[in-house]
Structure 1
Amino acid sequence: MPYIKQEDRPKLDQLVEQMKEAGIAANGDLNYLLYAFCKRHVSPSYNNYKNFIGELNQCATEIERRILAPYEDEKMRENGDV
């Protein structure tokens, strides 16, 4: 996870809140938003696209590790293991 310096977070957190207020959800909206950003603002080159995809993959990995895994562990404790 890229830990962003405290002083650099407010502008990014503001964007996150704007996305929430706009109703951006993981139902196609987020996919469109990320694709549109890449298409419009990532300079065309193999390396730039590769780096963008790497950022997306690392984000998914971090969600699995820090959010999904603890949730699954909690549900296993609540409901018993398989």
Structure 2
Amino acid sequence: MRLKAHHILRERLAPLLIEERLKRNLQPAQIALVCDLSVDTINQIESGGAMSFKKYLRLLRYYNKKIKLELVDYNPTSSA
């Protein structure tokens, strides 16, 4: 199976969203209520599950966070 960019992004974003929720001492039910999402949706997002990216953006907006992408040089043959 080929990994696509959105899979990688979800995979990397999920633990950051969990960390942010825990920093703020919030429960998924509290966030679900404010963001108009179900608790199951919050749990699925936090596990990196397949979900509309708009739902990820709702959480990011709630946490007042943005995503920063950076282009870097990539050399698959280097062992650094």
Shared fold, TM over 0.5:
no
Question: Which one has a bigger Cα radius of gyration?
Answer: 1
Instruction: Identify the TM-score tier after normalising by the shorter chain.
Output: 0.3 to 0.5
The TM-score normalised by the length of structure 1 is: 0.32
The TM-score normalised by the length of structure 2 is: 0.33
